[in-house]
Structure 1
Amino acid sequence: MVSGELEIGPEEDRRADDARTHPVAHGLVQPLEISHIVMSVMIQPNTDRRTAIKATALTALSYRRVLGANDRIGIGLIGCGNRGVNALLKGALALREQTGIDVPAVCDIWRQHAEEAAGVARAATGHEPRQIKAYREMLAMKEIDAVIIATPDHQHATMLTDAVRAGKDAYCEKPLAMDMKELLVCVDTVKKSDRIVQMGTQVRSLPSSMGARKWIQEGHLGKVFKVEQERNGLKPYWHNYGERKIEEGDTDWRAFVFNRKPRPWDPLQHAGWFGYRDFSRGPHSNLMVHFIDLVHHITGAALPKRCVTLGGSFRYRDSYNAPDSVETILEYDDFLVRYSTAFGTSAGNYLKFFGPRGTMDATNWSGKPFTVSGKGAENPVADEMEVPLAESDNHMLNWLKCLRSRQQPNAPIEAGYSHSVAVILSDEAMVRGRRMAFDPVKRAIREG
């Protein structure tokens, strides 16, 4: 389980014994039991207002005890690569005092990665976390209340399914799934539970994205009819990961291959897994996924109807089999989406939303306000302008707060379902060389 997700910017069926309703409940009172107490008091025919208020106050106090305002929530990291450690673990630890978390254990099959993560956690918490190789061993730990899953793409859905069945909340890196079968099992498992799950599409939590969502849904741009992104790079991002040195004795190759077809040891596939289609879907699952999630977030659309894609390797013809270039067009009910990536040049990057009153430029999506121009529009906005930012917690803080409040986070499981459908649909269209359609009732992809 080596992680190392790409930075963004102009950058398995088992139920564990421990299925606690809340991470820090310690078996005292269940949140649902609390609400039942309140309701049983309030619906009594002779209950006066004062009694009801007392019951509510008592319940709130009890709930705070259940949540353990002064107790620490145990977070476990599964996948200790670059993304897992430098972005997610460090991001969570920076919020440790504010959110009351601890890191009792870290998990990775790559020894050096686990050691690095343990060192980071030790420096922040003052104690030595357990280093674990098998992720199910972590899921069985009663000290672990929630997990961050930052492993290779082909492991996400199964690990999240197992985590939820073990009663853990989770933050899961994108993409949620690489095929429809594992996607549906995972989504259905999460939706039947009361677990808090945040998808790792952090762009939607930026003040710029939140502001743009509000501005667009208020109708200031008119009805969006097209969205485009050009996302290029000088060379495929998997090249940098493939350069990492790894010895067979320092990892567990079979555990890395996971549910894929067994194969002989290959250090390049292990270190550079981003570039192999068994383990990732290339640009669709690691670049387009952020873009399409932002499209869903801002427009309110959820699922594409049809898709055509062309792609292949045109600049870098090497041992990797992920495409270095893709052109994808997705059709939604009210608009078209075009996504393009070409490795070989870092020029020509942009992200734009088109409406009858102008164009919203979201190219610099890393926090700066999006800009709007009415140039060429039918009914243009009066002047070029910046879209107002909206107050928003960062993505990790949003999830950590939700672990206590039990409210849904900014990118719940439905967001993972939507972005995964778009990613899988786009990739299938490329592989089959056919226009592909999604049936939202049957939850299936077919030619169409």
Structure 2
Amino acid sequence: MKEELTRRDFLRRSGAAAAGAGLAAGVGPMVSTRSAAAGVASPDERLGIGLIGCGGRGQRMMRMALRTRQADCVAVCDVQQEDMDEAATFVRKRSGKAPQAIGDFRKLLELKEVDAVIIATPDHWHAIQTIMACQAGKDVYIEKPISHNIAEGLAMVKAVRDNKRIVQVGLMQRSGKDFQDAINYVHSGKLGKIGLVRAWFIKKRENMGHPPDGEPPPGLDWDLWLGPAPKRPFNPARFKVKEAATGTMYGSWRWFWDYAGGQLCDWGPHMVDVVRWGLKAGMPLSATAAGGNFVIDDCRECPDTLQVLYEFPGTTVVWEHRQWSDRSIEPGRYHGVEFYGDKGSLFVDRTGWEVFPEEGGEKAGNPGEVGKEKNMDEEHIADFIEAVKARKDPVMPIEEGFMTTATCQLGNIAFRSGHKVLWDDEKKTIPNDPEAMKYFSRTYRDPYKLPV
């Protein structure tokens, strides 16, 4: 397909782009304890896994890894003592052996018994931790989005390949049978010519209000949590809030530009990846966006309402999110992707998929029941473990994760700059737009730097 690149071409272009973005910066002291070729387990060995980020998502993926019976959790790490203790207690009860509990991920990466790491930290830490893990000879399961910004993603691709590591990106739809079947149907051509694709996430989110700054909760290293982000006093809205519907704590840091990219870079990668997969597409040609904080009166920075129009070769893609409404594009389906062809349309979400034919077309699919989403996490982490042992690419390698993440980030750049943003895929950059390029990378707070 026209949009696909060989891996060599991708690495050549992304490496040059990363250098052009000034990413040859130094990093604080870090001594690798093994070579890039180290940490390779034989097919019969159990992997030693270190968990970096012990919140709800990290603990879930750690549990899924243990279920495969092909891995042991040998170390856990978090800047919040409560979460780290909870994860360590679970592992001890499950395996009979307590993992090492370490507050600084750099110390975890020095452990020889760690073959691979699961990284489930806030987005602004993803690139530094992934690159340092690769340099330390560890393989990586990294949650989406892979990075805080596009420049970091380019540096991550280069680091993964330079260090010959196996990296799986946490876009688990690639491991889900319903999604695989749906995309195979799209690729079959039975929908005809696809002229439009819509992707969305529409669900009410908590109003965080305008809480004052205060002291961090006991056991939280707030300065290390901030890491490369600007130093500022602790504020609960920039950390976690309790969801009224579930009573659980949710990372509201997602709604602040210093740490993340809002709803588009939270659920967006899951749905946008399905779009790219179905279209056999690389990066979009351009992005235009409109939205804002129109409804929710609180302290969030990222928009509560957003539409992004992406131009792909021969196809238009529309992203939409609303954080203040439950009335979705497909009623009852708060997330989803729909491919519109001249012979039929296909809808897919985590419950199943269904084809809506034009006159004379065929019905097809495996429609799911509203609210009954299927678990793909275990299959996805099992694919990662298999790939590590076989030293082969997993189903969701770093290049695909980069393109999906960068597509979402391009939409945010269009929104923040107010421009129609073009993408130069040869040079891996946004051409002739200094305002848009302000959001292409970030300034790092000392002593944190993106590793060379």
Q: Which residue of 2 aligns with 1:121?
A: 91
Q: What is the rounded CA distance, in whole Å, between the counterparts of 1:15 and 1:307 in structure 2?
A: 41
Residue-by-residue CA offset, 1:342-366 (whole Å, 9 max, x unaligned):
122111144310112110011xx21
When the two structures are superposed, what TM-score results if normalisation uses the length of structure 2? 0.79
402-411 or 135-144: bigger deviation: 402-411
Q: Kindly tell me: are residues 375 and 78 of structure 1, through their superposed partners in 2, closer, same or farther at Cα, counting changes over 3 Å?
A: same
Picking from 37, 42, 47, the partner of 1:21 is 37
Residues 1:395 and 1:239: Cα distance change in structure 2 (over 3 Å): farther
Q: Distance in 2 between matches of 1:280 and 1:229?
A: 20
Shift of 1:239: 5.0
CA distance in 1 between counterparts of 2:418 and 2:104 reads: 39
Query: How far off its partner does 1:302 sit?
Result: 1.3
DSSP 3-state at the match of 1:203? helix
1:50-199 matches, within 5 Å, as: 67=42, 69=44, 71-85=45-59, 87-95=60-68, 97=69, 99=70, 101-199=71-169
On the 8 A contact 2:36/2:135 being kept in 1, the answer is: no
Q: Do the aligned partners of 2:174 and 2:180 also contact (CA within 8 Å) in 1?
A: yes
Structure 2, unpaired ranges of 5+: 1-25, 241-251, 331-336, 369-375, 437-452
> 1:419, CA displacement in angstroms?
1.1
User: How big is each residue's C-alpha offset from its partner over 1:65-97, in whole Å with a ceiling of 9 and x where there is no partner?
Assistant: xx151x321001100111111x211111121x2
2:318 is the alignment partner of 1:338? yes
- 1:316 corresponds to: 296
Q: Tell me which amino acid in the other structure corresponds to 1:386.
A: G
CA drift of 1:206 comes to 0.6
- Higher-Rg member (1/2): 1
Q: Determine which of 250, 255, 280 is the counterpart of 1:300.
A: 280
Flag the structure with higher helix content: 1
Structure 1 residue 375: Cα displacement: 3.0
Kept in 1, the 8 Å contact 2:203–2:325? The answer is: yes
Task: Report which structure shows greater RCO (CA 8 Å, sep ≥6).
Answer: 2
Contact 1:248 1:267 in 2 (8 A): no
Q: Does 1:275 align with 2:255?
A: yes
Tell me how large the CA RMSD over aligned residues is. 2.3
How many residue pairs were aligned? Answer: 378
Return closer, same or farther for 1:15/1:415 CA change in 2, 3 Å cut-off.
farther
Partner of 2:4: none
Give the letter aligned to residue 97 of structure 2: H
In the TM superposition, residue 112 of structure 1 has moved relative to its aligned partner by: 0.3
Determine which of 247, 252, 264 is the counterpart of 2:221: 252
Q: What secondary structure does 1:225 align onto?
A: strand
2:340 corresponds in structure 1 to 354
Partner-residue secondary structure (3-state), 2:265: helix
Contact kept? 1:103, 1:129, Cα under 8 Å: yes
- Following superposition, the deviation at residue 202 of structure 1 comes to 0.7
State the one-letter code of the partner of 1:172: I
**Deviation, structure 1 residue 174:** 0.5
Are the equivalent residues in 1 in contact too, given 2:36–2:164 (CA < 8 A)? no
2:428 is aligned with 1:443: yes
* Structure 2 counterpart of 1:221: 191
Aligned to 1:52: none
Q: Output the CA distance in 2 between the equivalents of 1:173 and 1:384.
A: 35
Superimposed CA distance per residue, residues 69-128 of structure 1 (whole angstroms, 9 cap, x where no aligned partner): 1x321001100111111x211111121x2x2x1111100000000011111111221101
Q: 1:388 to 1:263 in 2, by over 3 A?
A: closer
Task: Decide whether the 8 Å contact of 2:190 with 2:344 is kept in 1.
Answer: no
> Equivalents in 1 of 2:294, 2:232: separation in Å?
27
Aligned residue identity for 1:21: A
Query: Is the contact made by 1:329 and 1:339 (CA closer than 8 Å) also made in structure 2?
Result: yes
> Which of these residues, 343, 350, 353, is aligned with residue 366 of structure 1?
350
Look up the SS of the partner of 1:148 in the other structure.
Answer: strand
The aligned amino acid for 2:61 is L
- In the alignment, which residue of structure 1 is the partner of 2:371? none
* Matched-pair contact (CA < 8 Å) for 1:24–1:68: no
Matched to 1:159, the amino acid is Q
The CA distance in 1 between the partners of 2:35 and 2:238, in whole Å, is 36
Shift of 1:180: 2.3
1:413 paired to 2:398: yes
What residue number does 1:430 align with?
Answer: 415
Matched, 1:285 2:265: yes
Paired residue type of 1:208: D
2:365 maps to 1:386: yes
Task: Give the Cα separation in 1 of the matches to 2:409 and 2:291.
Answer: 14
Per the TM alignment, residue 285 of structure 1 is displaced from its structure 2 partner at its CA by 0.5
C-alpha separation between the residues in 1 aligned to 2:346 and 2:294?
Answer: 31
